[in-house]
Amino acid sequence: MTNYKTGQSITRTLLMIFFIILSLFVIYPLVYLVSSSFTPGNSIADIDIKPFAKGFTTAHFTYIFHKTDYKIWFLNTLQVAAVTTVVTMFVTALSAYVFSRFTFPLKKHLLMSLLILQIFPSFVGMIAIYVILLRVGGFDTLWGLELVYIAGNIPYNCWMVKSYLDTIPRSLDEAARIDGASHFLIFRKIIMPVARPIMIFLGITSFTGPWMDFIFPKMILRSADKQTLALGLFSFVTDKKNDFTLFSAGSLLIAIPFVIFFIFTQKAMMMSMGAAAVKE
């Protein structure tokens, strides 16, 4: 018995050491980013491996706000992410409800088409996207970028939300329909409150993609007043520039509203998951 307890203690100690080391590997890059944001100098060579070893300054943040177009980049990115999230959630929720609750011709074929579209990587269709945006006048515009994100979000998310709606008992729909509720009223008053957890998750993922993406903005946007945060920050660390501390400061500013967004949505998700338990 004593040997068994000793073995358990050793195992717990080893696991504790392992997770502490793993946590340090995860946390250190974040600490290094914060330290770089407040370190004097510009290049990565000016940053010591020890956080805050070379001093402390807020000059990088002052430079970003007064001598760059960071505010424009931020507003452009916020607009693209917000519009993409709202439209994706609305279209996906309606589409998933139709696929989950109604029977109509070619339903299985349409669902399979959505699944097949999601199989191919997004960069496979870049040439087609480029040509289509040129034809419709969406090249070098924020609405063209939003259109690309929305079109890319809908297929997989429609499958995901439909699978969640399939778990909601149809007896709720039938009871509401007996009381005279229309399909849209059932969707708005019955289905969506129960499906709030998956919709919050959908909102988070739909917002995250445009907020951090670099590839599609690089392909679509050309004008200086149309740049997003990813493009603007990348301009600090090109072959001609090595302003890594400015890049770190801008990245830190991006993370602040994003962390706040996650805090609020995480709380809402936990409350929704607790309230979404449905008994047949």
Task: Tell me the per-residue pLDDT of 135-183, one tens digit each, with 9 for 90 and over.
Answer: 988 898 999 999 999 988 888 888 889 888 888 888 888 888 888 888 8
Among candidate residues 162, 145, 22, the one with its CA nearest the CA of residue 83? 145
Residue at token pair 């399939």: 166
Q: Is 55 left (phi over 0), alpha (psi -120 to 50) or beta?
A: left
Q: What angle do CA 45, 47, 53 make, to 5 degrees?
A: 140
* pLDDT value at residue 225: 87
* pLDDT value at residue 267: 66
> In whole numbers, what is the pLDDT of the chain averaged over residues?
82
Here the tokens at position 237 are 């660390």
Here the tokens at position 97 are 């409800």
Cα–Cα distance measured from residue 204 to residue 89, given in angstroms and rounded to the nearest whole number: 10
Task: Tell me the per-residue pLDDT of 55-97, one tens digit each, with 9 for 90 and over.
Answer: 778 888 888 888 888 889 999 999 999 999 999 999 999 999 9
Half-sphere exposure for 262 (CA within 13 Å, toward CB) = 8
Range 177-196 average pLDDT: 85
